[in-house]
Structure 1
Amino acid sequence: MVIFSVLYPATPGASFDQAYYDATHIPLVKDAFGSSGLKDVQVFVGVSAPDGGPAPFVAMAHLAFEDAAAMQASLAGPRGGEVMADVANFTTIAPIAQVSTRD
């Protein structure tokens, strides 16, 4: 299994519309990538750092795909651009992406 993680760093002066993200963006991701191998999406909202200070990330999404080919088919597929363009509708934060594997 391949995990595509998108992290939104807490950035002074930046905006992040959690309601839009939950109600519109994540359903768009599921609809756009479901037929090309997306298996699961988990969203986490930053609460705090371990020492109780501010959370380093506003939110994180972890998209689980069958394999690397399914991830590439989704991200580079016909709706990948639509998903990426929607980011501007809910945040001014430049996201950080990482690809990982999970047994």
Structure 2
Amino acid sequence: MIVVSVMYPTTEGGKFDMDYYNATHIPLVKEAFGPTGLMSVQVLQGLPGPDGSKPPYVAIANLVFESPEALQKSMGGPRAAEVVGDIANFTDIAPSRQLSLAS
């Protein structure tokens, strides 16, 4: 399995609409990439530290794909542009991404 972690860093003045993200964007991701091998999505919302400090990330999404081929098929598929285009509807923060092999 391949995990794509999409991490939105806490950014001074940055906007992130968690309600839109959970109610609209994540269902879009599942609908768009499910047929091409997306197995599951986990959304993590950053919380303040015990000392009240801001979290390093506002949100992290872990997208689990069946295989590297499934990831390529999804990201190169007909709905990828739609998913990417929706990002502006919930944030102006540039995400970091990491690919990981899950065992």
Return the TM-score normalized by structure 2: 0.96
Counterpart residue type for residue 21 of structure 1: Y
2:67 corresponds in structure 1 to: 67
Where in structure 2 are the equivalents of 1:21-60 lying within 5 Å? 21-49=21-49, 52-60=52-60
Pair 1:88-2:101 in alignment: no
User: Could you tell me how far 1:54 is from its partner in structure 2?
Assistant: 1.1
Normalising to structure 1: TM-score of the pair? 0.96
Any gaps of 5 or more consecutive residues in structure 2? none
Greater shift after overlay, 50-59 or 85-94? 50-59
Q: Which consecutive residues of structure 1, in runs of 5 or more, have no partner in the other structure?
A: none
1:76 aligned to 2:76?
A: yes
Amino acid paired to 1:88: A
Count of residue correspondences: 103
C-alpha displacement of 1:50: 6.9
Does the 8 Å contact 1:47/1:55 carry over to 2?
yes
* Paired residue type of 2:10: A
Runs of 4+ more than 6 Å apart? none
Q: Is the 8 A contact 1:49 1:56 kept in 2?
A: no
Q: Distance in 1 between matches of 2:30 and 2:92?
A: 22
- Give the superposition deviation at 1:76: 1.1
Instruction: Specify the alignment match of 1:8 in structure 2.
Output: 8
Give the share of equivalent positions with the same residue, in percent: 54
